[in-house]
Copies of this chain bind each other. A is one copy, B any other.
Amino acid sequence: MADMQSVLREIDENFDVSIRKLLELISIPSISSDPSNGPDILRAAEWLAEALSSIDLVAEVIQTKGHPVVLAHSSEPVPGKRPRLLFYGHYDVQPVGELEQWTHAPFEPAVIEEDGVHRIYGRGASDSKSQLWTFIEALRAWRTVHGDFPADIVVVLEGEEECGSPSLPDFIAAHRHALECDVAFICDAEMWSPTQPAITTQLKGLVHERVTVHTPNPDVHSGHYGAVAANPIRILSAILAGLHDEKGRVAIDGFYDDVQDIPEALRQKWHALSRHPGLFDDIDLTGGVLEEGYSVLEAMWGRPTVDINGITGGNQGPGERSVLPASATARLSFRLVAGQEPEKIRQLFRTFVESRLPKGCRVDFVGQGGSSAVVLSQDSPFLAAAARGLELEWEQPAILIGTGGAIPLVQQFHEVLGAECVVIGFILAGDAIHAPDERYDTERLRRGIRSWVRIFGDIHGHTAN
């Protein structure tokens, strides 16, 4: 039986060094959705390959047609002897949005003490550099103490998760053999509460669409022609306002055609979870519109939605400019559930917009992303091991949850490779992921690392000898 206490002690004693290294990683602005950002992305990838090499994994930065993947493995596996565990994280981050909204500079990460809690502030502090750091540090500590890893190891660190993982299918096809594993631990998910761990067993799919409405004219004086010429902002607003009906349902023809309804047993389970005290303490849901007939958790985890993530048109400057702009743009994201096919939803949306477009105007679309929802098995031995390990560390049972978020790789691994996936993570809603002042508290980081050690211990105990 492996000596877990020494590994946990190693983690606690080296925790300051661990944080210092993580801050280094967060300081690299690896925003993946900006195509001009290649050099920073590469720098983050190389930093990680170096970190993995330093714990005796064989690591390389593998170019794709988009951003690179960091792929690492322990020395050649002895077939049939030990399980092969794959760990997935992503090192790319979301854009920062408006800098003025940040109290702490997004790429000058620091640990700030607030009411006795130490928090790492920075873009990627939570989503997802701390997350991938939990398993890397757990592997490092285990190897330091035991001189070997708890199993055969594969690490996959992606650089395009925040922009829809466009290169992932090709990467998986090209590295099928290297990615073979008994289980893929996907570390990019949430806890149930600050004190209770979770395992995510169903994820939504995701489709991004950018739509631009063009009128037949260039910018024109709104005094002269405002009363009579087409205004793209007015047209776009009307289209967006028509996306939902009065019951909060998406009004796009055919949108619900392939939706599998939430099984009654699951509804009951989520209904029970809904009563958890403090569940929505980090969000104010006043003013939100729920789809009629569904509770909050059902809408979040089990119903398809569309959201407008951005809109731009006409005057953006400090002063007024009395103009009818030539065009206006909105960015939308569709969150899909089991049964819905991303490309079909994209087409339904485009047809919806085109059918509402006034004569003489035209529209163009830029599509991105396109992953399906995934529903994972709830009774695999590795999920059971993870649940036991998490419970041991947090002293509360791990709850099986859904998420409205998407991790395209889970779909790919699950459906293309047929791999068993266990989705774990230590994010909380209050971490402000995708938002200004993203943060992650160091105690959660420490216990996240320790959680993996508990899980390793469990797997090792069941498979060693």
| Known A219-B435, A320-B164, A360-B287: A311·B314 in contact at CB below 8 Å | yes
Instruction: Name the CB-closest residue of B to A328.
Output: B311
At the interface, yes or no: A112 with Cβ under 8 Å from chain B? Answer: no
Task: Tell me the minimal C-beta distance from A216 to chain B in angstroms.
Answer: 4
Task: Tell me the minimal C-beta distance from A290 to chain B in angstroms.
Answer: 6
Q: How far is the CA of A163 from the CA of B359 in the complex (A)?
A: 33
Q: How far is the CA of A287 from the CA of B32 in the complex (A)?
A: 38
At the interface, yes or no: A324 with Cβ under 8 Å from chain B? Answer: yes
Partner of A309, one of B236, B323, B333: B323
A34 contacts which chain B residues (CB < 8 A)? 317-319
At the interface, yes or no: A368 with Cβ under 8 Å from chain B? Answer: yes
Question: Interface stretch among A57-65, A224-232, A253-261?
Answer: A224-232
In the complex, are the beta carbons of B220 and A359 less than 8 A apart? Answer: no
Q: How far is the CA of A295 from the CA of B438 in the complex (A)?
A: 54
Partner of A300, one of B101, B225, B289: B225
In the complex, are the beta carbons of A360 and B286 less than 8 A apart? Answer: yes
At the interface, yes or no: A406 with Cβ under 8 Å from chain B? Answer: yes
Question: Interface stretch among A73-81, A382-390, A426-434?
Answer: A426-434
Query: Lowest 9 A-B CB distances belong to which pairs?
Result: A33-B319, A286-B360, A310-B315, A230-B287, A241-B241, A223-B405, A219-B435, A310-B314, A216-B284
Give me 17 other A-B pairs in contact (C-beta within 8 A), A217-B284, A227-B305, A230-B286 excluded: A95-B319, A97-B315, A97-B321, A101-B219, A206-B322, A208-B320, A223-B405, A227-B290, A227-B303, A228-B300, A231-B307, A234-B240, A284-B360, A286-B361, A309-B314, A309-B320, A312-B316
